[in-house]
A and B are shown apart, each in its own frame.
Chain A
Amino acid sequence: MMLINFLTKNSPVLIPILYLSMGLLIPVIAGGRRHRLAWPTIALVILIGLSISIFNIFAVIDAGKPIHYYMGEWVPPIGIEYVLDHLSAFVMFVLNVVAFLVIIHAKDIVRHEMPGKEVPYYGLISLMLAGFNGIVVTGDMFNLYVFLEICSLAVYGLIAAGEKKSLVASFRYLVMGTLGACFYLLGVGFLYLTAGSLNMADMKAIMPYIYNHPTTIIALAFMALGMALKMALFPLHGWLPDSYTHAPSTSSAIIAPTGTKVGSYVLIRILFFIFGIKFISEMLPVAHIIAWMGAIAIIYGSVVAIAQKELKRMLAYSSVAQVGYIGLGIGLANPLGLIGAVLHILNHAFMKACLFLVAGNLRFKIGHSMISKFNHSIRKRMPWTMAAFTIAALSMVGLPPMAGFFSKWYLVMGTIKNSNWIFLAVVLISSLLNAVYFFRVLEKVYMKPLNSGSPEESDENTKPTEVGLQMLVPTLVLAVGLIVIGLLNALIVKGILAYIVPLAGM
């Protein structure tokens, strides 16, 4: 009983604190010769984080309205406020569930790819999650910047831990990411100068009074630009492909599904919860611009993905396209588009995590993930991994009853609602492009080579060498999750996402 009371009272702040403190404590707990403790610790920590985030969702559904937490009992706008509403609770859940599954999967592969570096690696993971969760739950614009820097620093490290080229990729991300954060900070500064507040809800209330102020417009431009950089929205995606390709398998599997999503989340907060739908469509047509950037990203990312020779790189470009979906949904600025975008945060997190885990499994067992070297022996060696890949691929193409279909359905509805036929065409064409690059892989994996030599030559390496259960189960859970989410999407939309629409002022 006491635990529940404690949780209800403090639930918004618990997760960031948990991860932040554990990020510092992991080196202590698992330092030196106790390095074997690193993985159990981080797994346990994320399990706790996940439990709290599930508790949070039910708390918010129960309350039916946002739950506020005032840091040190300082009332906003002076103090820092944490807000747990349907949107933040939902995104936090997505972050934690994906992180948990990926970390379960990570044990062997981290040891394999980065022997002896587990302790700092898991410490950084914890820090990164502190940053992500903090960004999501905070109701204060400057506090958000602080968490943004925390997670960015952790991510630079997580990417740089990979193969040789990852250093350059990480440096590039560092430059771009810092720029993005700076733009955001500049925007916050402009707003603070004009309105004298850093609290998001407060700012929304002040907005009508500073509506025509040129600095407000500049602030919006800076903040939106900063977040577009962070979420890798075309044409600001340059840092993403290299980072995801060269990062360690676990890093790509955890950052790809979550990192860009957090950027998208902040964009939603800025556009609808700080500036409001009226401002972003009347004063500065940011929504429209973002929708166009999203539409171009969808086509560009998909087309470039077709040309990739390496699986992780293909997935990275596909991420560029999928972020475009979210951007397009946000930019449509209508309820259906917003629901589609938020639902796609969940769907894409599951799909990409699953696909990157598959890539990790391949690298672990086969030693590479070059698409050109794939052949049907992979199917025989790793039947379950490839089954998971197939489900995730079909979901990416947007085929029912997989989850991907339903976010596409909402986006299609959203574009029709706005009578924007170009965007409708973009969403539909992108499905076909996705089909091209995924069936290209599926064909190689499931069919015998066309001009192969004798059948005996492949026999020796067709014994099943599936990865261990610890890696297999998370991969399959994500894949099955895609079907479950797809079938239960109405439940998610009705129970959680529908509440976001009025909160966003639509």
Chain B
Amino acid sequence: MTIPETYTSLIPLWAVLVSLAAVPLILISSKYRNLRETWTIAASIIKFGLVLSLLPGALANKTAEIKILEVFQGVDLTLRADPFGVFFALIASGLWIFTSFYSIGYVRGLNEHKQTRYFASFAVCLSATIGIAFSANLLTFIIFYEILTIATYPLVIHKETREAIIGGRKYLVYTLTAGLFLIAAAAWTYQIAGTLDFKAGGLFSDGMLTAKNALPLFLLFVMGVGVKAGIMPLHSWLPTAMVAPTPVSALLHAVAVVKAGVFGVIRVVGFVFGPYLMREFGLNNILMTLAGITILVASLIAMRQDNLKRRLAFSTVGHLSYVVLGAAMLTPSSFTGGMMHIAFHATMKITLFFVAGAIYVNLHREKVSELDGIGKVMPWTMGAFTVGAIGLAGIPPINGFVSKWYLGMGSVELGNLIPLAILVISGILNIAYLIPISYVAFFKKGEKLEGKGEAPLFMVVPLVITAILSVILGIFPDLFFKFYKLAANIAVSIIGAN
């Protein structure tokens, strides 16, 4: 591995700002919807291009960094495109492109109100997400984390029904509280360490943490990032927030917001505490227990949900904890697997949400029990669903298998087979709650489906592409974006530092 070096570059800043710059343009052109959507698409493509241009540097361990201004004594608002940041930014910005196209099909298909607010908020969310990815220190992270919270709120309450407003309130209470815990944790960290900079392997020096303050500090952090990461018992905002329009659920509640949470978990475990301190104070066991329980319980609850989006929401809760589990096991393979699951779960789950939205727009059906026979009228859509479902269960050749394989290896490396057992059981439960949907869609006889066809192309094309992407990444995980190489490098930088 080469020696890490840092160079100053404005690209991370542009990557954050490009979608923010689109917001006024979106607002101004609110009367001309084609022009308005052009800004969204343009911003998403430019953003992805900028992030992609950082990939070679990240692979060669050359980190782009930009200090914007000092916000607190000795702490700058700094964006740093380290490998892990690039990894997450790639996923978020890449999937934003698909979601943008899909959103257009969705809001027009349903003739939604306040579309301008919708697209503007979406753009702010993406800025915040990339900001989170590139945050070089905890304070910068918190700033973008809170912006993400607020920018998501208008999307959650988009429908403005009583249910949506109550869901929005719950979302705010959970996420704002989490932000406060995070602020307290960061302030305390600063008092102890005198720095807030993320550092692979942990930012605390020897002897800074004692048995007395390590545990409460860690719990503050877990409560801070755990809400967005959906760790039980902090998850209950997530299913409620599914009242949001489906593209929002797809991108934000399967990719950006919740992944910002698990991204935060890995930052805390790998870049604040570090594997050594995690083990020394037994913090890894706490995290592992929480993740294990979450995986199993969420899968069990998912089986009982009749509303398709709610079922997917609980499935998300479970899969997020795969990542948490990977971080908690603290072995090279488990970190690699956990990080890859951030990417791979994203492509699979976004497919499933896209499918749910397509069914809703096309047939106005939301319940699993109403899906009999729809595979015959929407073969492409349900085919994509099946791919995603198989992948989430961890069956090859879909990419979910790859990340799960590394997580399993991590369990073996650790010499503790309980995580492996949890993964296997969870896989079976995944089959139990997802595959029957494909089954009834294709093999049961449906009612009132005469004359119906596929959903609009704006929706079907993105979801088919994400499904194909899941398969390709399953067979060649290193193709295109080098997800495997990146993840393995990051894992080594975290573990190797000790």
Question: What is the interface of chain A, defined by CB distance below 8 A to chain B?
Answer: 394, 397, 399-401, 405-406, 408-409, 412-413, 416-417, 424, 428, 431-432, 435, 439, 443, 446-448, 450, 487-491, 493-494
Give me 6 A-to-B residue pairs in the complex whose CB atoms sit less than 8 angstroms apart, sorted by A's number: A394-B150, A399-B149, A406-B72, A409-B183, A413-B191, A432-B173
Residues of B within 8 A of A488 (CB): 69
Interchain CA distance A428-B220 in the complex, whole Å: 13
Residues of B within 8 A of A439 (CB): 169, 172
Question: Beta-carbon contacts of B145-163 to A below 8 Å, as 1s and 0s?
Answer: 0110110001001001110
Q: Is B297 positioned at the interface, with any CB of A under 8 Å from its CB?
A: no
In the complex, are the beta carbons of B162 and A450 less than 8 A apart?
Answer: yes
Q: Is B143 positioned at the interface, with any CB of A under 8 Å from its CB?
A: yes
Interchain CA distance A490-B181 in the complex, whole Å: 23
Interchain CA distance A446-B154 in the complex, whole Å: 9
Residues of A within 8 A of B177 (CB): 432
Residue count of chain B within 8 Å CB distance of chain A: 32
Q: Is B190 positioned at the interface, with any CB of A under 8 Å from its CB?
A: yes
Contacts A413-B191, A432-B176 given; does A448 touch B184 at CB 8 Å? no
In the complex, are the beta carbons of A490 and B150 less than 8 A apart?
Answer: no
Interchain CA distance A432-B173 in the complex, whole Å: 7
In the complex, are the beta carbons of B157 and A447 less than 8 A apart?
Answer: yes
Question: What is the interface of chain B, defined by CB distance below 8 A to chain A?
Answer: 69-73, 77, 142-143, 146-147, 149-150, 154, 157, 160-162, 165, 169, 172-173, 176-177, 179-181, 183-184, 187-188, 190-191
In the complex, are the beta carbons of B180 and A448 less than 8 A apart?
Answer: no
A79 to chain B, nearest CB (A): 39
Contacts A400-B142, A416-B187, A416-B191 given; does A490 touch B71 at CB 8 Å? yes
In the complex, are the beta carbons of B72 and A400 less than 8 A apart?
Answer: no
Q: What secondary structure prevails in chain B residues at the interface with A? A: helix
Contacts A399-B150, A412-B184, A447-B165 given; does A417 touch B69 at CB 8 Å? no
Interface centre among A397, A406, A408, A409 (most CB of B within 10 A): A409
Contacts A416-B184, A428-B180 given; does A400 touch B143 at CB 8 Å? yes
Residues of B within 8 A of A431 (CB): 176, 180
Interface centre among B77, B147, B183, B191 (most CB of A within 10 A): B183
Number of CB contacts from chain A to chain B under 8 A: 71
Interchain CA distance A481-B401 in the complex, whole Å: 51
In the complex, are the beta carbons of B176 and A490 less than 8 A apart?
Answer: no
In the complex, are the beta carbons of B187 and A489 less than 8 A apart?
Answer: no
Residues of B within 8 A of A401 (CB): 143, 147
Residues of B within 8 A of A408 (CB): 183
Contacts A399-B146, A416-B184, A450-B162 given; does A406 touch B191 at CB 8 Å? no
In the complex, are the beta carbons of B188 and A490 less than 8 A apart?
Answer: no
A303 to chain B, nearest CB (A): 16
A480 to chain B, nearest CB (A): 14
Contact of B191 among A417, A428, A450 (CB under 8 A): A417
Interchain CA distance A431-B142 in the complex, whole Å: 15
Interchain CA distance A493-B190 in the complex, whole Å: 17
Q: Contacts A397-B176, A489-B72 given; 8 further ones with Cβ under 8 A?
A: A405-B143, A435-B172, A439-B169, A448-B160, A450-B161, A487-B69, A487-B71, A490-B73
For residue B74, which residue of chain A has the nearest CB? Answer: A490
Residues of B within 8 A of A428 (CB): 180-181, 183-184
7 shortest interchain CB distances as A-B pairs: A400-B143, A490-B70, A428-B180, A412-B187, A447-B160, A413-B187, A399-B146
Residues of A within 8 A of B187 (CB): 409, 412-413, 416
B72 to chain A, nearest CB (A): 6
Residues of B within 8 A of A394 (CB): 150
In the complex, are the beta carbons of A424 and B71 less than 8 A apart?
Answer: no
Residues of B within 8 A of A405 (CB): 143, 146
Residues of A within 8 A of B142 (CB): 400
Interchain CA distance A487-B72 in the complex, whole Å: 10
Interchain CA distance A446-B157 in the complex, whole Å: 11
Q: What secondary structure prevails in chain A residues at the interface with B? A: helix
In the complex, are the beta carbons of B69 and A490 less than 8 A apart?
Answer: yes
Interchain CA distance A287-B379 in the complex, whole Å: 72
Contact of A400 among B146, B154, B165 (CB under 8 A): B146
B165 to chain A, nearest CB (A): 7
Residues of B within 8 A of A400 (CB): 142-143, 146-147
Interchain CA distance A494-B72 in the complex, whole Å: 9
A285 to chain B, nearest CB (A): 24
A274 to chain B, nearest CB (A): 28
For residue B181, which residue of chain A has the nearest CB? Answer: A428
Interchain CA distance A380-B138 in the complex, whole Å: 38
For residue B70, which residue of chain A has the nearest CB? Answer: A490
Interchain CA distance A446-B153 in the complex, whole Å: 12
In the complex, are the beta carbons of A494 and B73 less than 8 A apart?
Answer: yes
Contact of A443 among B73, B165, B180, B183 (CB under 8 A): B165
B104 to chain A, nearest CB (A): 23
Interchain CA distance A179-B160 in the complex, whole Å: 51
Contact of A409 among B72, B172, B173 (CB under 8 A): B72
Interchain CA distance A481-B143 in the complex, whole Å: 18
In the complex, are the beta carbons of B165 and A406 less than 8 A apart?
Answer: no
Interchain CA distance A397-B146 in the complex, whole Å: 11
Residues of B within 8 A of A399 (CB): 146-147, 149-150, 179
Residues of B within 8 A of A487 (CB): 69, 71, 77
For residue A439, which residue of chain B has the nearest CB? Answer: B172
Interchain CA distance A432-B183 in the complex, whole Å: 13
Residues of A within 8 A of B165 (CB): 443, 447, 450
Residues of A within 8 A of B179 (CB): 399
A458 to chain B, nearest CB (A): 14
Interchain CA distance A417-B184 in the complex, whole Å: 12
For residue B192, which residue of chain A has the nearest CB? Answer: A416
Residues of B within 8 A of A412 (CB): 183-184, 187
Residues of A within 8 A of B169 (CB): 439
Residues of A within 8 A of B176 (CB): 397, 431-432, 435
For residue A490, which residue of chain B has the nearest CB? Answer: B70
Interchain CA distance A416-B190 in the complex, whole Å: 10
For residue A339, which residue of chain B has the nearest CB? Answer: B73
Residues of A within 8 A of B69 (CB): 487-488, 490
B24 to chain A, nearest CB (A): 12
For residue A401, which residue of chain B has the nearest CB? Answer: B143
B467 to chain A, nearest CB (A): 36
Residues of B within 8 A of A494 (CB): 70, 73
In the complex, are the beta carbons of B184 and A489 less than 8 A apart?
Answer: no
Interchain CA distance A30-B161 in the complex, whole Å: 55
In the complex, are the beta carbons of A489 and B73 less than 8 A apart?
Answer: no
In the complex, are the beta carbons of B73 and A432 less than 8 A apart?
Answer: no
Residues of B within 8 A of A397 (CB): 176
A262 to chain B, nearest CB (A): 28
Residues of B within 8 A of A491 (CB): 70
A497 to chain B, nearest CB (A): 11
Interchain CA distance A443-B71 in the complex, whole Å: 31
Residues of A within 8 A of B181 (CB): 428
For residue B153, which residue of chain A has the nearest CB? Answer: A439
A496 to chain B, nearest CB (A): 14
Interchain CA distance A450-B168 in the complex, whole Å: 14
For residue B145, which residue of chain A has the nearest CB? Answer: A400
B28 to chain A, nearest CB (A): 13
Residues of B within 8 A of A416 (CB): 184, 187-188, 191
Interchain CA distance A424-B217 in the complex, whole Å: 14
In the complex, are the beta carbons of B184 and A424 less than 8 A apart?
Answer: yes
B385 to chain A, nearest CB (A): 33
Interface centre among A408, A447, A450 (most CB of B within 10 A): A447
Residues of A within 8 A of B149 (CB): 399
Residues of B within 8 A of A417 (CB): 191
Interchain CA distance A424-B180 in the complex, whole Å: 10
Interchain CA distance A119-B169 in the complex, whole Å: 48
Interchain CA distance A399-B150 in the complex, whole Å: 9
For residue B149, which residue of chain A has the nearest CB? Answer: A399
B406 to chain A, nearest CB (A): 36
B214 to chain A, nearest CB (A): 15
B475 to chain A, nearest CB (A): 43
